Amino acid sequence: MTLLYFIIAISVLVVIHEYGHFWVARRCGVKVLRFSVGFGNPLWSWHDKHGTEFAIAPIPLGGYVKMLDEREAPVPEHLLDQAFTRKPAWQRIAIAAAGPVANFLFAIAAYWFLFVAGTTGVVPVVGAVSDNSVAAVAGLRSGDEIIAVDGNDTSSWQEVSWELVNFLGEDADIPLQVLSADGRERPLTLSVQRWLADTDVPDPIAGLGIEPRRLDIAARIGELSPDGRAQAAGMRSGDQVLAVNDVAVRDWYHWVELVRDAPEQALLLSVERNGQQQTLTLTPAAKQLDDGKVIGFVGAGVQVPELPQDWLRTSHAGLWQGLVLGLEKTSDLIGFTLESLWKMIRGDVSVKNLSGPITIAKVAGASASGGFESFVGFLALLSVSLGVLNLLPVPMLDGGHILFYSAEMLSGKPVPENIQIAAIKVGMFLLLCLMSVAFYNDISRL
């Protein structure tokens, strides 16, 4: 299913991106030879009345629009006026920019739809604050609701996280507005230095020492991994863990702590199954975390109850307000993506945050399991990232082509071919380096 959702996500975004190039090329009078989703020899193709071949290829890692181009093959004289290379520089810029613009328009439309349909999030009420943490020093307390970060209203934990990630890698005083359990509002300031700069996968909430309030969840087993130690020990979905080594288990979180603290140690369990108590012996497998710490792991998931309605907050927007919010959200994401790239270049944020197709596939699967709203939001986020990256002034990318054509408009003549070839080689090297780091990060996370 993860692979399926990855293919769906990539295919949707590729079609949107390439359709942008295709649509503007047609409007500029350029003959489009092929519109391919995927790379490789086509598995299936057809031609329209204009002679364009539409193809679906087997490697779902991208796509392309092939236009009539004198640089690739001789063009018959009667078709020269339809060649991409014969079009004015401003039209070539428009064609190159149309792909990323289509990605941004899709994100705006997706967020517009989500805001109008209604978004639901968990109310950002603090459950616990770690001793001597940034949040504790600032005066945040259990039961406080975070209603604003840096002057921006926050109605859910997702919005709190979104506002906080803007401060990653920085020395800053982050202003909060909180609502106490007794109904009083008060301002707080979180002081951070190079905040989470060296963290592989930063968690802004936990990074401040904040733990969201959580349900009292019984230690009842839900899903079991087929090759996990829990299933091998005879545990079944629905079992409730009563005790571990004669220590009464308070809730699911306590059960997790007992397992994590006992890698490769035999545990004597008392479980309730269908109203009867049984005794099992379970030895958690050892699992090493990124920080070198070794924890116990048994391959058992929790049976999660539904959240109380007063823990959730749903907001709906009108058609016009939803469009405005969609525009704001997309522009915020564009700015955040550019700022994150700049922070990586400066060293304020670890390059280990770069992700490749493996992580994208995992997130696609996870977001799809979270429902339609979650998956559409993921597509919008990925679409913005794709649009921004393609606009970077790197040869081989749309932004590199725009740079060449802009230079041609200013100078009145094309950039010399030898300079273009050299720049393309540098751009290809940079992209290969970037892809190598992203793949390395993906494999490390596995």
Share of the chain above pLDDT 70, in %: 96
Give the residue with greater pLDDT, 363 vs 16. Answer: 16
Q: What pLDDT score was predicted for residue 105?
A: 97
In degrees, to the nearest 5, what angle opens at C-alpha 62 toward C-alphas 394 and 429? 35
H or E, element range at 98:
helix 89-117
Model pTM?
0.79
Of 328, 376, 375, which is closest to residue 110 (Cα–Cα)?
A: 376
pLDDT at 304 over 80: no
Residue type for position 383: S
Place of tokens 């300031």: 189
Six token digits for residue 209: 């020492």
Q: What pLDDT score was predicted for residue 3?
A: 79
Give per-residue pLDDT as tens, 203-237.
889 999 999 998 888 899 998 998 899 999 999 99
Give per-residue pLDDT as tens, 87-119.
999 999 999 999 999 999 999 999 999 999 988
Q: What pLDDT score was predicted for residue 368?
A: 67
pLDDT at 370 over 80: no
Place of tokens 């005794």: 279
- Name residues whose C-beta falls within 8 Å of residue 104's C-beta, 6 or more positions apart in sequence: 330, 334, 383, 384, 387
Mean pLDDT value across residues 157-165: 90
Residues 127/213, Cβ–Cβ less than 8 Å: yes
Q: What pLDDT score was predicted for residue 64?
A: 92
Share of the chain above pLDDT 90, in %: 56
Q: What pLDDT score was predicted for residue 395?
A: 83
CATH of domain 221-304: 2.30.42.10
Q: What pLDDT score was predicted for residue 141?
A: 94
Q: What pLDDT score was predicted for residue 374?
A: 85
Give per-residue pLDDT as tens, 379-415.
999 999 999 999 999 888 899 999 999 999 998 888 8
Place of tokens 């959702």: 5
Give the catalytic positions in this structure.
18
Q: How far apart are CA 150 and CA 136, in angstroms?
A: 18
Of 73, 28, 99, 38, which is closest to residue 392 (Cα–Cα)?
A: 99
Q: What pLDDT score was predicted for residue 296?
A: 93
